[in-house]
Every structure is written in C-alpha cells, then in structure tokens.
C-alpha cells in the first residue's frame, strides 16, 4: 500500500458503498497483509515437514488476481470483481488457491453488473462465495477454509441487517473468521492432533483482516502474530555460477549454536578449508556455505560440531552442475495431431527426465512448496499439437488446479488422472498408449494407481505426536502414501522403518529417487544396503533432484 492510500483512515471509515476502484484498494490491502503473514500461514502444516506452502499458494493466487486489475481504472465493481475472479482462477496454485479462486468466482457472480455494493450486497456476495466454494469441492471437509467462508457469510448476513458501514460489517466478518478458525481443530481431528488450526482458513482470515486494517488506517507491513516457521535463509549460500580453482563441492550446513559464535574466528577457520564462504543467521540458526575439494567436504561438519548442533546438511557436486548434468534437453515424447499427449508435473530435474522418457509430452515444474498455477498447466495443454490430453498432477495439492485447467480447455478433450505422487505418475505412464482411445487409456492409468506404494523421507520442522508417531524437531520422518508413519534419528533408520511399513518384503521392485540434498554415493550405498535386506526384490536408484525430500520411494 502507498502512504497516500493509508494516510487517512477517515476516508474509508464511514464508507457505505464500495465501487470498483475501492474494491481494488481493499484487494491490494488484503494481499499486502497476506504477504506480511505468509510464513505464519505456511507454518500451519499438519505434518511437520519443510514444505508448508499454503500461505505462498494463496499469496501467488491473489497476486495473479490483482495483476488483472492493477492498471485498470474501471469503477464498475461487478467488472472489477469478475477480473479478480478470472485472475485468481488462472493463477490458482494448490488446493487452497483453487478454493480461493472459487470464493472469488461466487463473489463476482453475485456482484455482476453492479456499479457498487453496499453491506447487504456484500453479505449476499459472501453467501454466494461460500456456496460456490462448497459446490466446487467433491467431498467438502469441515474444519477447513470452507467452514471459515461459510461462517463469515452467515455473520455478514446477520450484521448487514443492523450495520450499513462497510468497516462495521468487516469487523463482524473478521471476528467470525477468527472464531471459526479457532474451531477448526474441533471439526477436523487431525488439526487438533497436530496442534494447529487450518492453514487455508488462516489465510482467508488474514485477507479479511487486511481489508479491515486498511479501513482503520492500520499498518500492513508488521505481523501481529509471532512467526513460527522453518529456517528460511534461501538467499544465503546461493549456488555460484562458475567454479574457482580448488572447488569441487558445495557444502551447506545449518546448525544451532551452543553459545555465542565469534564470526571473525569462524571465517578464518573456514578460509583454511575452502572458498565462496558465506555465513547467515536467522531464527537462532546459522547457515554455513562453502566451496571446497571433495577430499575436504566433511571438514566443515567437524568444525560446526564444535560450535553447536547440526540440523541440516546439503552437499552438491559443482562439477556435475557446471558441466551440465541436466544440460541436455528433456527427452519429451513427440505428439502428433490425433494422438494423446501427457502433461506431467514434476518436482525435480531427474524426475522430469524419468517422466519424459516414459511418454510425457510436456513437463510442468512443481511439487511440494512450488505448486504450478492453473494457467501454467493450461498453457502446457494448449501448447500440445493435439486435442486429446491427459494430465498427471503427481501431487495431491495440484489435482484441483489440474481439474480447473481441464475445465477451461473447451477445444480439447482433457482428462485428469489424479496421481498423488510421482511414483503413481510413473505407474500411470507405464499404461500409456498414445494411439489408444482416450477413455480406455485413462481407465488403465487409473487402475495402475493402486499398484504402487509411495514413501517420502524428509526432516521434521517441529515436534509433534501424530497418528501415534512421536516426532522431535530435526528428526528424520517417513510418510507412506502421504501419512506420517515413522520417525528416526538417522536417515538410514528412517528409510528402513518406512520400507517395513510399506510391506517391502511382499513386493518385487523397490526404487529410490534421491533428492537435491543427497549425493549419488550416499544413494548408492543405501541402495546396496536395501538390496541386502530385501534379496528377493529388484532394488534400484535414480537421481530425482526434488527439494525437501531426501528420498521418494516407490514399492511395487
């Protein structure tokens, strides 16, 4: 928000109607407040995994919506609302973003052709928002953003009978949103077990709060809640564009110090090991970044252990990066008019290659913490020279965006096979016949989804007890088909416990896709240990390149 737009709260304190330009300002205020509180929303992840992205998804959805009206001088509130709804739909990311786009769709429908809205029409628009969002959910779940928008609509309808000032109505809406949010753990047991409220509901509450704060003339750049979030020092230790003499590996170590850290001394000791040294501090954690020879790549770990407790380690082969490990173009499958083209979502370079080699004609980058928008998926569909397309979202949080893209491709026959993981996407591609009937190929792909088990191994971002599993912050955890199943103090221990949960002994093939933070040598060593434990199974490993997850495991 500009200083001019927030300088005089009295300008809008007595506002009785809202036209298009005023809705534009309210929307911008909501976005600004959401951006300020994004990490608070991101931290409300049921699972203690480092990919909480609800706040980011909702923010990017809203930013896409605002781009549709940013340069417009339209005063008709109905037309502005329609533009916001369109932008939200095209920019929708993740389930929360798609639901948010449906909220805006209902809001815009209720305001169609209105020059301005009053409190009664605002309340009616929120009711339509809630009903549209519920209709868009295949199986509406209470205790989520759906519940919050429904409760806000009810509060608005009640308040509109007594209050004709927009700020008074918004006060009741915000109050209802906060109360509804507080109730979400009682409606959705998994939230109560995890000790959090619903992230999507929190994001929606923040949007309404932003509008109200603007009308009150309150600042929008200072969060009022304490921020509890995973370490985010992405700017520290960014990869170098070239390799200096004596550099072979990039090592990044995050640690929590035992006491005060004397940075000049730490820098001097690091300079004796390598180059490209950076040290960042945030949220009581330190990040050390250094380039050094392969033979010395473990020495920074030994140094840091003197100073504190290591919480995370990342090692990358710089030679492989610069010499073009992924420099060759993806082996995308050519598709001709009349054939079926597959659009697959992939979270990592290595996984993209696997999907492309099995028949994907287009790859959309995305996954945990980087959900693609509806528009990005739609573009991939439209770019294929065929009118028959199958989408593999490969993540439960991308399925809704994929379905929205399919619905907005009127000139093409588009089907969404609801793959919830990359292993399911790979299994589906094994059934792909580009010249087959679309319905038959879709059915075969859908049948394949039950034939593969998915495991994911990552690091816990907080302590929690969930589904009977006790997790301490920093432990390695394993998820089986999206459910938290195991925790361990070691990566190897977590993998073996997870394989046992997945019933690996009763299956024939075990495949590991190692992530960006795992070296090929470590993956190879773990694969050999698994093969020894499960001699009857074929065990293999591939570079996946996915962030956040050390391993994605497929058991068939």
Tens digit of pLDDT for each residue in 150-176?
999 999 999 999 989 999 999 999 999
* Model pLDDT, residue 268: 81
Task: Decide if pLDDT at 229 tops 60.
Answer: no
Confidence of residue 218 (pLDDT cuts 50, 70, 90): confident
Q: Indicate the range of 18-27, 115-124, 298-307, 546-555 predicted with least confidence.
A: 298-307
* Model pLDDT, residue 2: 35
Residue 522 Cα to chain centre, angstroms = 27
Task: Decide if pLDDT at 301 tops 80.
Answer: yes
- Residue bearing tokens 């090929």: 520
What six digits make up the tokens of 285? Answer: 């954690």
* Model pLDDT, residue 479: 93
Q: Output the DSSP codes for 311-330.
A: EEEEEEEHHHHHTTTT-SPP
Express each pLDDT in 312-369 by its tens digit.
776 766 655 444 444 456 778 889 999 999 999 999 888 998 898 888 999 998 876 6
Q: Which DSSP letter does residue 373 get?
A: B
Task: Decide if pLDDT at 388 tops 80.
Answer: yes
- Residue bearing tokens 């911008």: 28
Cα–Cα distance for residue pair 500/309, rounded to 1 Å: 30
* Model pLDDT, residue 10: 40
What average pLDDT does the structure give for the chain?
Answer: 84
pLDDT more than 70, % of the chain: 86
Cα–Cα distance for residue pair 1/418, rounded to 1 Å: 40
Mean local confidence (pLDDT), 502-510: 91
What six digits make up the tokens of 420? Answer: 């919830």
Q: Are 413 and 438 in contact (CB under 8 A)?
A: yes
- Residue bearing tokens 């929307």: 27
Of residues 491 and 90, more confidently modeled: 491
Task: Decide if pLDDT at 305 tops 70.
Answer: yes
Mean local confidence (pLDDT), 227-234: 33
Mean local confidence (pLDDT), 492-518: 93
Query: Which residues on adjacent β-strands are paired with residue 254?
Result: 287, 312
* Model pLDDT, residue 339: 94
Label the pairing between strands 285-292 and 249-257.
Answer: antiparallel
**Domains plus CATH for the chain?**
3-216 (1.25.40.340), 249-322 (3.30.70.260), 340-451 (3.40.50.510), 453-555 (3.30.1180)
Confidence of residue 241 (pLDDT cuts 50, 70, 90): very low
The reported pTM is: 0.65
What six digits make up the tokens of 363? Answer: 């790859």
Confidence of residue 284 (pLDDT cuts 50, 70, 90): low
Task: Decide if pLDDT at 5 tops 50.
Answer: no
Cα–Cα distance for residue pair 551/218, rounded to 1 Å: 45
Closest alpha carbon to 516 in 278, 349, 396: 349
């Amino acid at each position: 928000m500009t200083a001019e737009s927030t300088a005089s709260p009295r300008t809008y304190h007595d506002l009785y109607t809202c036209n298009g330009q005023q809705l534009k300002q309210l929307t911008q205020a909501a976005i600004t407040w959401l951006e300020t509180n994004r990490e608070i929303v991101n931290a409300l992840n049921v699972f203690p995994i480092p990919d909480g992205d609800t706040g980011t998804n909702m923010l990017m959805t809203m930013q896409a919506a605002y781009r549709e009206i940013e340069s417009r001088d339209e005063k008709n509130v109905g037309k502005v609302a329609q533009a916001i709804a369109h932008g939200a739909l095209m920019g929708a990311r993740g389930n929360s973003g798609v639901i948010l786009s449906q909220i805006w769709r209902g809001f815009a429908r209720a305001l169609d052709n209105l020059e301005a809205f009053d409190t009664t029409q605002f309340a009616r628009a929120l009711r339509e928002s809630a009903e549209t969002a519920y209709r868009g959910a295949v199986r509406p779940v209470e205790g989520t953003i759906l519940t919050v928008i429904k409760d806000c609509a009810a509060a608005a309808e009640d308040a509109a009978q007594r209050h004709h000032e927009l700020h008074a109505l918004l006060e009741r809406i915000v109050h209802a949103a906060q109360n509804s949010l507080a109730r979400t753990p009682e409606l959705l047991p998994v939230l109560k077990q995890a000790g959090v409220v619903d992230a999507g509901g929190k994001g929606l509450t923040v949007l309404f709060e932003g509008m109200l704060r603007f009308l009150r003339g309150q600042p929008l750049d200072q969060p009022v809640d304490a921020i509890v979030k995973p370490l985010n020092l992405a700017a520290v230790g960014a990869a170098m564009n070239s390799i200096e003499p004596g550099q072979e590996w990039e090592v990044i170590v995050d640690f929590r110090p035992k006491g005060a850290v004397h940075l000049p001394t730490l820098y001097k000791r690091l300079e004796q090991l390598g180059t490209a040294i950076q040290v960042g501090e945030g949220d009581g954690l330190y990040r050390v970044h250094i380039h050094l020879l392969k033979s010395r790549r473990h020495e920074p770990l030994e140094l840091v252990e003197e100073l504190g407790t290591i919480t995370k380690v990342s090692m990358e082969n710089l030679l492989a990066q610069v010499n073009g490990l992924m420099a060759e173009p993806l082996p995308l499958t050519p598709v001709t008019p009349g054939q079926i083209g597959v659009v697959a979502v992939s979270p990592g370079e290595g996984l993209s290659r696997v999907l492309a080699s099995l028949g994907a004609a287009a790859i959309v980058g995305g996954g945990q913490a980087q959900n693609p928008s509806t528009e990005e998926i739609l573009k991939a569909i439209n770019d294929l020279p065929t009118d028959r397309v199958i989408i593999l979202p490969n993540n439960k949080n991308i399925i809704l965006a994929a379905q929205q893209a399919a619905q907005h491709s009127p000139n093409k026959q588009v089907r969404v096979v609801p793959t919830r993981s990359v292993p399911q996407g790979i299994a589906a591609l094994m059934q792909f016949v580009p010249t087959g009937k679309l319905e038959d190929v879709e059915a075969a792909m859908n049948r394949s989804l039950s034939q593969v088990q998915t495991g994911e191994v990552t690091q816990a971002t907080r302590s929690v007890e969930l589904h009977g599993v006790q997790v301490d912050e920093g432990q390695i955890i394993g998820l089986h088909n999206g459910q938290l199943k195991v925790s361990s103090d070691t990566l190897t221990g977590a993998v073996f416990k997870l394989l046992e949960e997945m019933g690996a002994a009763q299956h024939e093939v075990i495949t590991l896709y190692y992530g960006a933070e795992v070296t090929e040598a470590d993956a190879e060593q773990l694969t050999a240990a698994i093969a020894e434990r499960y001699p009857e199974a074929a065990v293999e490993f591939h570079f996946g390149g996915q962030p956040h997850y050390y391993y994605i495991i497929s058991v068939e």
